[in-house]
Each structure stands twice: as C-alpha cells, then as structure tokens.
Chains A and B, each alone.
Chain A
C-alpha cells in the first residue's frame, strides 16, 4: 500500500513537471525562429506633371498602364500612359473630351475608359432645389463615334436612385453601379440592362468588376459572378472570411472610397488591398495569404484610402489612393528579397485609448523606418470587461517587471506619479532638437516640466474657445462670473431664446472645466475649495439660461468617462447651432484647424451677427487641454529608437494630415497655414446643409481660414500659459457630482463637500 501511495504522488508530481516543462519549451522554440527574408517595400511615385485627382488607374488591353486624372476645379480630364508605372507620358483622347461636347446639358462630367479605349461619359446634372441627380450618358466607341445612351435603373422615379459608378470588365463589357451598390451589366448599343447582380437581398457594401468577375461584398458573403455568362461562381469560404475580417465594421475609408479594392492575377487568383495590407487568394485555394502587411506601410494610415490597385507584370503592385480624402497618391510596392519579412526591431507603444492620430504617426514612422515594427497596444478597447483601472494595473505590473512598453501615450495616466517614481526618461533633448528645427509652443511642451526637465510632453492640445457677438467675446470671456453675468443679461432681453446652445449639464461642465480648472491649483498643490464652489455657482447660472428639451436629450447618451478623447473637439457642433440660429454664443473645445475653419466660416456666413472668436478663460490663467502626452519608459532597451518615434509624434509632419490637429509643433501650424487645403489648390473644404430650428435648410460652406485668421489663431495659441487639470481622480468627481448639482439633485454645499472629500482623499494617498 505504501509503495502504491508513493507511486501515486510521484505520478502527480511528474505530471505537473512535464506540463511545466512543456509549456516552458514551446515558448523558447518560438523565440528561436529563423528570420524570414523578403518583403514588399513601399515607394511613393511622383505624379506626372499636371495630374490632379486620380480618377482611374488601369491596365490597357495592350498591357500598358493608363492613368486618368481629373482637375477638380475645371472638371477637365487628362490621361497618361506608362509601361512600368514609373514614367508617365501624357496621351491624347480619341476625341476632345474637355470641349464641352460631352456636356450638352451643362452637367458635371465623369469619364471612364475601357481597357481598349472606349469612353463612357456620364454627365450629372443636379436639380437646384432638391439637389437630386439626373444622369445623361454618352458613349464613344473605339472609332470615335459618339452614341447617346439612356440607362434606366430601378427605383429612379420612386426613390431617386441613380447610377454613381461605371466599370469595365477586362473584355470591355460595360457595368454600372447604383446608390445601393447593385451592379448592372449594360448593353453598350442600347443602354438596356442585360443583367442585374444584387446581394441576394442583403445590403451590398462594396461592388467591383475584376478581370472577368463581378464581386459583391455583403455583410455576410463575398458573391462572385462570371462577367460574361452571369453565372455565380461557387462561394469561397476562405476568401469570404478573410475579406469580411479585413473590412471589419467599415464600408468606407476616410475619403469615402470603398474600404477594399480588388484586382486579379494572370491565373485567375484574386488580390485585394485594404488598410490591413494586400492579400492573395488563389482560385479555389485553401488559404488567403497576406502578402503585404498594411501595418508596415502607409496603407494602415487611418487617413488613407485605396481607390485602385493593379499588379504589374514584374509582380509588383501599383496602388492609387487618397490621402486625407483630398490628395491623390500613387504608391508602388516592389518585392525586396533582402529585407526581412518582419522588421527585426520592435517598438512597443502603449495608449489607454485608441486615437486615429496615433495610427497616423505610426504609419508615418514605419514608412521612414522599414526595419522597425511598431506594436501599438490599446489598454481600454471598450469591447471587453477591461476598465481603465484594470488596464493601468496591468500596465504598471508590466512596467515594474521590466516588460513595459517603450513609448507611453499618457493620456489618462497618473503622469505625475510616473515622473516622481522615475519611470520616465528625460526627453528634454528630443524636444530641444525639434524646437531648434521647427519651433515648439513652449507653454504646451512644458506642461509637465519637473525640476527643469521634460519627461512627458503633449504633442497635441485643445483650447477652450468662445464664438459670439464681439462685445461678449472681447469683454466678458475672461472669467466665468463675467460670462454668466453677460449671458443672464442677454437672456433677460429675450427670454424665449437660448443664448448658449443647448447642452447637457455634463457637456457644459466639461467645457467650462477645461477653461477654469487651471486656476484651482494652489501653491502647495492642493485644490482651492472656494474656486470649486465658484466654478459650480457660475456654471449653474449659465446652465439655468439654457432651455432644456428633454425629448432631445434622451437620445444623447452621456457617459463622460468612456468618451474617447478625440470627441473632445466639440466647438464645431456649437458653431452649427450659431449658424442655424439656435443660439447666440457657442463655447467648446477647439482641437483642430479644420474645426477652426468652421469658426471663421461662420463669421463669414453671418456678417450681420458680427461674430468674433476668442479664448474662453475661467480666470487669470489661459489654459489648454494637453493631449497625446508622450513619454519614454525608463526601462526601455531601445532608447534611441523610442526617441526617434517620439520625434515623429512631436514632429511637424503629423500636424499636416487628417483634421490638422492643433500641434505643439509650430512648423506644423505654419505649414497648414501655407498649404492648399483642397485638391488642385482650392481652399474650399466642403459644405453642408443643416436643418435649422424652423425646418428650413441652411447651406454652410466651410473654407480655409484667411491668412489673418490663421495669424490670430497662432497668436492665441502662443498666449496660452497653463494646462488645465487633467487628472481623472479630480475630473471625474467634478463631472459626476457637478451634474447632480446642475440637475437640481443636491445642494451646492453637499456637492462641494463631496467633491472636496474625494479630491482630498486622492491627494492624501
């Protein structure tokens, strides 16, 4: 019996040991993988002279390439051809397409060419009052003869459905797509619909004609049809799964292009490109293989969208796309057998929240450092049960165990504790270097200066702003009490109308907190109770002037703490209200020059209102909200690499993309000031129609701010002096308790007591 017992125990122990060794082994085996070589390298190709918006990129029947460019101002077209995708020569159209001959009805012209040179011209006329489109079609054959076609898509009369895209198959068969992305095969001679490819009842997200296939992507399927016979090709689960995974929830990219683009190879295999990269699926193959990792190229940039992709004869790829929704780009991907497949260096970047800007910066960095892979880790995705606290705890454990990320984006993190505990490297030199080359807004970069050194530096920031009548902005925006006096007085003049735009208690608190909180901190680091009380009092006065409308508020889910930081850029929303006449004064946070354009455009739109804009300040201090606060973990083993990433984040180039976020980098501001904003050098960014209070539509054009306005923005930003309080342990109780006070659920004294109790608890720890 005793021997048995020993055996039994020994068995258990042995089992445990085996398990432990096994799991240990598998780990080390993984680490010793041999470096695989070969990667597609990205190269940007200069567009041929005179080329503007790239309307099309295709392979002609003779195997050469054709690029169709459109000047968005004059709506005139140019075509170029090339053998290798590098050198482009201008070509002549078979007829003069820009003469107006194709626009007999005076509409806008859209051109598509078939691989063998036929032209389908779509003339779009807009009804002045309803803005509904009606199309006319002119078809030019290879011999140059022009035929007018009438194409009638279902739903044209009933719901205003129209054709919005023209496609040609490899053999020159003509297809069109409508507003629902339904694909129609068209008889070139008569304009009759020869065949309809719909999603089988499901909504179509993307439709395409590739080689001799028609491809429709719906929410659950990738449907393929033979373009000649119209027969459905057997559905392919491997392809479907990968395509749907790559597309995720999105159907459109930043510039409104389809999120995915297909092309074919010689053997009937299919390539597709998206922000994930480029994938290949052999016809009937069992895998859908990623051949270009988007993360390592500019494909992953959130502001880039693919418009067209083709594979060249040498196996490389040419991708045309839109950066920022405005600027066309031509990228070439060439296989380089000498570059490791996966970059040999990895830099870990950690951020609690996902930010589009960060991905932009990473894409930029990776393009310039092909040997480095940036591994971005997001702490709180909102898709699982992980709270901010959980994420921070895990991050701290990693950092203390020496396995932390190299670079930290510290929005929402206890920055001061990290600095005190020596968790961060001094990056003064990096900042100095940029300051020398680009110039930096010192008050912003120095927001977290400790003992004369910089450990955490905000790359971007927000400023509290006000737009309203000149008197209010110049004389009353300096502190909250004055503002409240003024707004109450204006309200008394006209009790029926809101002075401030409608906002919830939480929204108002949030906007004013950023303007005022810099004044709360006392010399010893504690928070002034009087200042908190005064803040609540004035906010409450302002809140009482707002006519609340419960029915509309219920739609709005307010949850301050889960809000992503990029939705803090709120000013534009309130400016819209000024334009529609919903209110007289707009206050909010300005985070990007794009939204500054809204502010100045409103001025221009309503000259009678005499609108002015300025900083909104709670008191003596001119405050700003630091954002994208970057720092380097002092435990990093790649100090240099981390520093160069920080340089990219703080650098000038990142401020000139996307919405032109307000950068601490001065050169970025200047570049945005000088550069044309629209394609082909226009300064108009777009317009929108907003329905006003009384139900009429107000058209609101948004233009790039004038030189003077840009100048006054710069001087406003240069006048900033202190960061607002950005510590969740202080912000959260103010928001939560303040909301209860504003909504009349607790007295001012109770509110102040509760807030101070929580803040002091925090400061006492």
Chain B
C-alpha cells in the first residue's frame, strides 16, 4: 500500500467518525435539554419556556448552562413525593417479570419455530406475525374482557402476562436461531446430545446476540409502558413510573425534567450493562465458529 493511499484511508476514517458523532450528538441533543432544564429554578424555566408554553411572544432560546443551577427539582421528586419510589418499584417488578417470562417462553418458542418442522408451522408463524400488527387500542377492550374473565384485572399480572406472551421477541430471535448452521447441530446430534442439551448449549450460546437484542429492546419498551397499565390497573398504587410524569405545564416543568432524567437513568444503566453482555454473546458466538 502506498503512503498516499494510507493517508486517504485515514482521512476517510476520520470523516466517518465525525459523521457518526454528529449523528449521535443530534440524537442525544434532547437529553441536554432535560439535564439543563432539570437544574433550572422555577423563575428561569418560566422565562426560557415562556414563549412556547404561555405564548408571550419571542422564541425559545435554551441556554447552555442554567443561570442559577439548583437541585431543588430533584429534591422535589426524590424527597417530597413518596409515590415516586412506589412507582419506581412497580416498574422494576413489572419489567423484570416481563423479561424473565419472555426469556422462559419466547426463547424456546423461537427455537421451536427455527429448528423443527411440524405441520402448519408456516401458518402458525405467519399468525404470530399477524398478531403483532394490531395497535393496542384495537385489542384493548377484548383484552380487558379476557383479563377480567381470568380475574387478573387490577393486578400487575394484567400488564405482565400479555407482554410475556407478546410475539415480538419470538419474531426477533427466530431470525438468529435460523442463522445457526445446520451442520453444527447435526454433528452435536451425532455426538449424542439430547434436544434440550442442543437448545441450551447451541441455541442459547449461538443465538445470544438475538436473545440479548430482543431483551434490550424489550426492556426499553416495557419500561415506558403507558396504555396497558392505564387501562388494566385501576389501583393507582400499582402504576409504573411511566405514568408518574404529569402533563407538563409551566409550573411543573422543572419537576418533569428531573423526573424524566430519573426515569431515564435506570434504562440507561440497564442497556449499557446489557450491551456488555451483548458484546460477550457475540464474541462467544464468533469464537465457536
């Protein structure tokens, strides 16, 4: 390779990095609003948000730093509203149970679809895809009637169980299980491994990227559930954190900003942690081959 070529390669690499960062920055820009806004006092927020929320002329001009940074908004959420923690734990319980349930149900399900033949398999799988298509408002009433019949309404299970049996993760993981070369499994079978053993060893390991992406995406989705708990849970002491945030008015903007960030943080931690596992999963898969 000539020197010139090399320099070109470097330039290209930097440009790509610049573009990726720019895109990343653009995507994260709103977080910056939340952080700055959550540190502002009531008066400053009023001034900054005034043009939009109370319509008194001028344009919004968001500063890069609050004039008088204050932690009062955080104190307000964490100290003065005990329901924040109740709702936080509800969210943790709900999301945790859903993901655990999905892991136990959908992973084998996707494996079954991907690795075995049985009558009507194709039809069944298409049905699974179809079932993902209905927007929630459409099946809401029917779902409510079913949950009512089983006697689950107004318990966390009303939110957890339908989500556990969502066909989304099956659909996502299916693709990854199908991708595992037949040869590996056949050779394992010849070596005398049982079906479950094959699933546990090869399925889980080689399908790890798929399983983990389904879980990470699922977490984000269920952490922010709104319609389901609202419809199926009358008892407000069961509500998740996603329903804590009031409709934001000027008076509550600071609290809302702080509460948003506090809601966001566990999600961030989980998927940052999830990423590590995802990476390991991919590596393990690559090493195997």
A contacting B, Cβ–Cβ less than 8 Å: yes
* A contacts, CB < 8 Å to B: 1-2, 4-5, 8-9, 12, 19-20, 23-24, 27-28, 382-387, 390, 393-394, 396-397, 400-401, 403, 504, 506, 550, 553-554, 556-559, 562, 739, 743
Quick one: given A20-B150, A23-B157, A553-B56, are A386 and B243 in contact (CB under 8 Å)?
A: yes
B94-137 contact mask (Cβ, 8 Å, vs A): 1 or 0: 00000000001100100000000000000000000000000001
Does the CB pair A390–B150 fall under 8 Å?
no
With CB as the reference atom, state the residue of chain B lying closest to A12.
B104
B84 to chain A, nearest CB (A): 11
Quick one: given A1-B197, A4-B196, A397-B231, are A382 and B246 in contact (CB under 8 Å)?
A: yes
Quick one: given A384-B246, A394-B230, are A558 and B196 in contact (CB under 8 Å)?
A: no
Q: List 20 A-B contacts (CB under 8 A).
A: A1-B196, A2-B195, A4-B196, A5-B194, A12-B104, A12-B105, A20-B157, A23-B151, A382-B246, A383-B246, A384-B239, A384-B243, A384-B244, A393-B137, A401-B144, A401-B148, A554-B54, A556-B54, A557-B54, A557-B249
Does the CB pair A393–B145 fall under 8 Å?
no
Q: How far is the CA of A5 from the CA of B152 in the complex (A)?
A: 29
Interface residue B60 (Cβ < 8 Å from any Cβ of A): no
Q: Which residue of the partner chain, among B57, B144, B227, B243, contacts A550 with CB atoms under 8 Å? A: B57
B48 to chain A, nearest CB (A): 12
A555 to chain B, nearest CB (A): 9
With CB as the reference atom, state the residue of chain A lying closest to B233.
A394
Does the CB pair A557–B53 fall under 8 Å?
yes
- Residues on B with beta carbons closer than 8 Å to the beta carbon of A23: 151-152, 155, 157
Does the CB pair B152–A1 fall under 8 Å?
no
Quick one: given A23-B157, A27-B151, A550-B56, are A385 and B245 in contact (CB under 8 Å)?
A: yes
- A9-B108, A393-B227, A504-B55 provided; 11 other pairs, C-beta below 8 A? A1-B195, A2-B194, A5-B196, A24-B150, A27-B155, A384-B243, A397-B141, A400-B141, A554-B46, A556-B54, A558-B54
Does the CB pair A562–B249 fall under 8 Å?
yes
Q: Which residue of the partner chain, among A8, A27, A390, A559, contacts B249 with CB atoms under 8 Å? A: A559
B239 to chain A, nearest CB (A): 7
Does the CB pair B239–A557 fall under 8 Å?
no
Does the CB pair A385–B246 fall under 8 Å?
yes
Q: How far is the CA of A394 from the CA of B227 in the complex (A)?
A: 9
Q: Which residue of the partner chain, among B145, B242, B246, contacts A401 with CB atoms under 8 Å? A: B145
With CB as the reference atom, state the residue of chain A lying closest to B250.
A557
Does the CB pair A554–B56 fall under 8 Å?
yes
- Residues on B with beta carbons closer than 8 Å to the beta carbon of A4: 194, 196
Interface residue B247 (Cβ < 8 Å from any Cβ of A): yes
Q: How far is the CA of A390 from the CA of B239 in the complex (A)?
A: 14
Within 8 A of A (CB), among B131-184: 137, 140-141, 144-145, 148, 150-152, 155, 157
Interface of A is mostly: helix
Interface residue B251 (Cβ < 8 Å from any Cβ of A): yes
* B contacts, CB < 8 Å to A: 46, 50, 53-57, 104-105, 108, 137, 140-141, 144-145, 148, 150-152, 155, 157, 193-197, 226-227, 230-231, 236, 239, 242-247, 249-251
Q: How far is the CA of A223 from the CA of B54 in the complex (A)?
A: 42
Does the CB pair B144–A5 fall under 8 Å?
no
- Residues on B with beta carbons closer than 8 Å to the beta carbon of A386: 230, 243
- Residues on B with beta carbons closer than 8 Å to the beta carbon of A506: 55
B2 to chain A, nearest CB (A): 59
Quick one: given A550-B57, A559-B249, are A403 and B148 in contact (CB under 8 Å)?
A: yes
- Residues on B with beta carbons closer than 8 Å to the beta carbon of A1: 193-197
Q: Which residue of the partner chain, among A9, A383, A554, contacts B50 with CB atoms under 8 Å? A: A554
Quick one: given A384-B239, A385-B242, A550-B56, are A19 and B157 in contact (CB under 8 Å)?
A: yes
Q: How far is the CA of A5 from the CA of B197 in the complex (A)?
A: 9
A-B contact count (CB 8 A): 97
- Residues on A with beta carbons closer than 8 Å to the beta carbon of B108: 9
A346 to chain B, nearest CB (A): 14
- Residues on A with beta carbons closer than 8 Å to the beta carbon of B193: 1
- Residues on A with beta carbons closer than 8 Å to the beta carbon of B243: 384-386
- Residues on A with beta carbons closer than 8 Å to the beta carbon of B54: 553-554, 556-559
Interface centre among A390, A396, A397, A403 (most CB of B within 10 A): A397
- Residues on A with beta carbons closer than 8 Å to the beta carbon of B195: 1-2, 5
Does the CB pair B55–A743 fall under 8 Å?
yes
With CB as the reference atom, state the residue of chain B lying closest to A553.
B56
- Residues on B with beta carbons closer than 8 Å to the beta carbon of A20: 150, 152, 157
Q: How far is the CA of A386 from the CA of B234 in the complex (A)?
A: 12
A744 to chain B, nearest CB (A): 10
Quick one: given A383-B246, A557-B53, are A401 and B152 in contact (CB under 8 Å)?
A: no
Does the CB pair A558–B55 fall under 8 Å?
yes
6 tightest Cβ-Cβ pairs between the two chains A and B: A1-B194, A5-B196, A24-B151, A554-B56, A385-B243, A385-B245
- Residues on B with beta carbons closer than 8 Å to the beta carbon of A8: 196
Q: How far is the CA of A192 from the CA of B55 in the complex (A)?
A: 57
- Residues on A with beta carbons closer than 8 Å to the beta carbon of B105: 12
Q: How far is the CA of A582 from the CA of B239 in the complex (A)?
A: 49
Q: How far is the CA of A385 from the CA of B54 in the complex (A)?
A: 20
With CB as the reference atom, state the residue of chain A lying closest to B87.
A384
A349 to chain B, nearest CB (A): 15
With CB as the reference atom, state the residue of chain A lying closest to B251.
A557
Does the CB pair A393–B55 fall under 8 Å?
no
Q: How far is the CA of A382 from the CA of B248 in the complex (A)?
A: 9
B280 to chain A, nearest CB (A): 24
Q: How far is the CA of A385 from the CA of B263 in the complex (A)?
A: 13
- Residues on A with beta carbons closer than 8 Å to the beta carbon of B249: 557, 559, 562
- Residues on A with beta carbons closer than 8 Å to the beta carbon of B152: 20, 23-24
Q: Which residue of the partner chain, among B50, B140, B245, contacts A393 with CB atoms under 8 Å? A: B140
- Residues on B with beta carbons closer than 8 Å to the beta carbon of A554: 46, 50, 54, 56
With CB as the reference atom, state the residue of chain B lying closest to A504.
B55
Q: How far is the CA of A12 from the CA of B101 in the complex (A)?
A: 9
A567 to chain B, nearest CB (A): 14
Q: How far is the CA of A558 from the CA of B249 in the complex (A)?
A: 10
Q: How far is the CA of A1 from the CA of B141 in the complex (A)?
A: 43
A565 to chain B, nearest CB (A): 17
- Residues on A with beta carbons closer than 8 Å to the beta carbon of B226: 385, 390
A746 to chain B, nearest CB (A): 13
- Residues on B with beta carbons closer than 8 Å to the beta carbon of A396: 141
- Residues on B with beta carbons closer than 8 Å to the beta carbon of A562: 247, 249
Q: How far is the CA of A23 from the CA of B56 in the complex (A)?
A: 53
- Residues on A with beta carbons closer than 8 Å to the beta carbon of B250: 557
With CB as the reference atom, state the residue of chain B lying closest to A382.
B246
Q: How far is the CA of A477 from the CA of B249 in the complex (A)?
A: 36
Does the CB pair B247–A393 fall under 8 Å?
no
- Residues on A with beta carbons closer than 8 Å to the beta carbon of B46: 554
Q: How far is the CA of A8 from the CA of B56 in the complex (A)?
A: 65
A58 to chain B, nearest CB (A): 38
Q: How far is the CA of A720 from the CA of B227 in the complex (A)?
A: 42
Q: How far is the CA of A20 from the CA of B236 in the complex (A)?
A: 21
Quick one: given A20-B157, A385-B226, are A2 and B150 in contact (CB under 8 Å)?
A: no
Q: How far is the CA of A562 from the CA of B248 in the complex (A)?
A: 11
- Residues on A with beta carbons closer than 8 Å to the beta carbon of B140: 393, 397
- Residues on B with beta carbons closer than 8 Å to the beta carbon of A393: 137, 140, 227, 230-231
Q: How far is the CA of A556 from the CA of B108 in the complex (A)?
A: 59
Q: How far is the CA of A710 from the CA of B242 in the complex (A)?
A: 52
